[in-house]
Amino acid sequence: MLDQVQLMYVFVAVAEEQGFAAASRRLNMSPPTVTRAIATLEDRLSVKLFNRTTRYVRVTDAGVRYLDDVKRILEDITLANEAAQGLNASPQGNISVTAPVLFGQQYVLPSILQYLNTHPKTKVNAVFLDRIVNMLEEGYDVGVRIGELPDSSIRAKKVGSVRLALVASPEYLSKKGIPQHFSELSAHSLIEVQVGSLNQDWKFSEKGKLINHHIKSRLKVTTNQAAINAAVAGFGITRVVSYQVANELRDNKLKFILEPFEQAPLPINIIHREDRLSSAKVRSFIDLLARNLSKQTAFN
């Protein structure tokens, strides 16, 4: 007979795998055992948790609410066990980390490798995406976010700030001239990045007001690196986050323009989900990442 906690683990597996056979493989249990476990749980609760057909298994509305509560309970059990082992327990297990693509590749990945080499019993799933990630819904433990944080349920540690700026190559500027006001951009060749939260009108600050300026781009790309490459090649002006072009600025391949009209700097935060207990593996990774990012001259 499975106890309540074991039944909860079975329930989560069936819900996430959307099937009894897949859940049995994940849990290394026989399919009949998994089926009986769900029947037992539904009987104890007097609630139907799944809708079953010959093609699929889906959680009911009551099952969705129960799933959220159960996952939180099981996470608390894991965290409580880690806490009982002591704050100095060696980190072990899996953590998932997310960050913007270029930032993750340049600044987060080195810390991940250092962490894995220091703690051989850990595994990291690193997902670099140029979009806003919902930490709770998508199940990430740690993230790096550039910009303001509207979500009050997220814990944050600020590690620097960056500029949202316009850049162009010296060759382009010598040929087409340096715009002195953003209203002059209509006479220039513009490179637009259609990705993440930056695929919108370009924003500028003037006389204390934030102004949305509609642009007409000659080139639209889906990655920041493609836009940077096009700007370095002398095609036109693009908008970047300052850390993305630190090397190009240093090597005089790109120059900032319209600096007096830039928005206020954007904060860089390490974020993680609010928990009553702090996991040793997550806490140690955040501390390492924060130390390393705070040393970066590109955004400090």
**What's the confidence (pLDDT) of residue 279?**
74
Whether the Cβ atoms of residue 274 and residue 258 lie closer than 8 Å to each other: no
- Taking the C-alpha atoms of 105, 107, 113 and 114 in order, what is their torsion angle to the nearest 10 degrees? 170
**Percent of the chain scored above 90 by pLDDT?**
74
**What's the confidence (pLDDT) of residue 197?**
53
Q: Is 182 a residue whose pLDDT tops 80? A: yes
- What average pLDDT score do residues 277-298 get? 88
- What average pLDDT score do residues 248-262 get? 97
Together in a domain, 275 and 149: yes
Give the pLDDT confidence of 111-140 residue by residue, as tens digits. Answer: 999 999 999 999 999 999 988 887 767 878
**What's the confidence (pLDDT) of residue 88?**
55
For residue 41, being part of any structural domain is answered with: yes
64-68, 215-219, 269-273: segment of lowest average pLDDT: 269-273
Together in a domain, 24 and 152: no
Together in a domain, 209 and 150: no
Count of domains for the chain: 3
CB neighbour class for 276 (10 Å; exposed up to 12, middle 13-18, buried from 19): exposed
Together in a domain, 288 and 152: yes
**What's the confidence (pLDDT) of residue 232?**
98
Q: How confident is the model at residue 89 (pLDDT cuts 50, 70, 90)?
A: low
For residue 20, being part of any structural domain is answered with: yes
Together in a domain, 171 and 225: yes
Q: How confident is the model at residue 172 (pLDDT cuts 50, 70, 90)?
A: very high
**CA 51 distance to own-chain centroid:** 33
For residue 287, being part of any structural domain is answered with: yes
For residue 103, give the nearest of 152, 150, 156, 161 by alpha carbon: 161
Together in a domain, 10 and 75: yes
254 against 90, higher pLDDT: 254
Structural domain ending residue among the three candidates 84, 111, 129: 84
Together in a domain, 123 and 270: yes
Structural domain ending residue among the three candidates 84, 104, 119: 84
Q: Is 175 a residue whose pLDDT tops 80? A: yes
Identify the residue whose tokens are 């207990």: 277
Q: How confident is the model at residue 158 (pLDDT cuts 50, 70, 90)?
A: very high
Q: Is 90 a residue whose pLDDT tops 90? A: no
Q: Is 1 a residue whose pLDDT tops 80? A: no
Q: Is 154 a residue whose pLDDT tops 90? A: no
Two structure tokens written together for 277: 């207990």
For residue 300, being part of any structural domain is answered with: no
**CA 54 distance to own-chain centroid:** 37
The full 3-state SS of the chain, as one line of letters, equals CCCHHHHHHHHHHHHHHCCHHHHHHHHCCCHHHHHHHHHHHHHHHCCCCEEECCCCEEECHHHHHHHHHHHHHHHHHHHHHHHHCCCCCCCCEEEEEEECHHHHHHHHHHHHHHHHHHCCCEEEEEEECCCCCCHHHHCCCEEEEECCCCCCCEEEEEEEEECEEEEECHHHHHHHCCCCCHHHHHHCCEEEECCHHHCCCEEEEECCEEEEECCCCCEEECCHHHHHHHHHCCCCEEEEEHHHHHHHHHCCCCEEECHHHCCCCEEEEEEEECCCCCCHHHHHHHHHHHHHHHCCCCCC
**Per-chain mean pLDDT for the chain:** 90
Whether the Cβ atoms of residue 231 and residue 251 lie closer than 8 Å to each other: no
Provide the whole-model pTM.
0.67
Together in a domain, 142 and 284: yes
For residue 299, being part of any structural domain is answered with: no
For residue 184, being part of any structural domain is answered with: yes
Q: Cα separation of 11 and 67, whole Å?
A: 8
Together in a domain, 156 and 278: yes
Together in a domain, 114 and 245: no
Together in a domain, 191 and 257: yes
**What's the confidence (pLDDT) of residue 201?**
86
Q: Are strands 202-206 and 255-257 parallel, antiparallel or unpaired?
A: unpaired
**What's the confidence (pLDDT) of residue 80?**
77
Whether the Cβ atoms of residue 244 and residue 100 lie closer than 8 Å to each other: no
Give the pLDDT confidence of 10-34 residue by residue, as tens digits. Answer: 999 999 999 999 999 999 999 999 9
Domain of residue 140: give its range.
Answer: 93-161+266-294
Together in a domain, 192 and 113: no
Tell me the CATH number at 116.
3.40.190.10
Tell me the backbone φ, ψ of residue 279, rounded to 5 degrees. -70, 135
For residue 191, being part of any structural domain is answered with: yes
Structural domain ending residue among the three candidates 84, 104, 128: 84
Give the pLDDT confidence of 50-71 residue by residue, as tens digits. Answer: 998 888 899 999 999 999 999 9
For residue 51, being part of any structural domain is answered with: yes
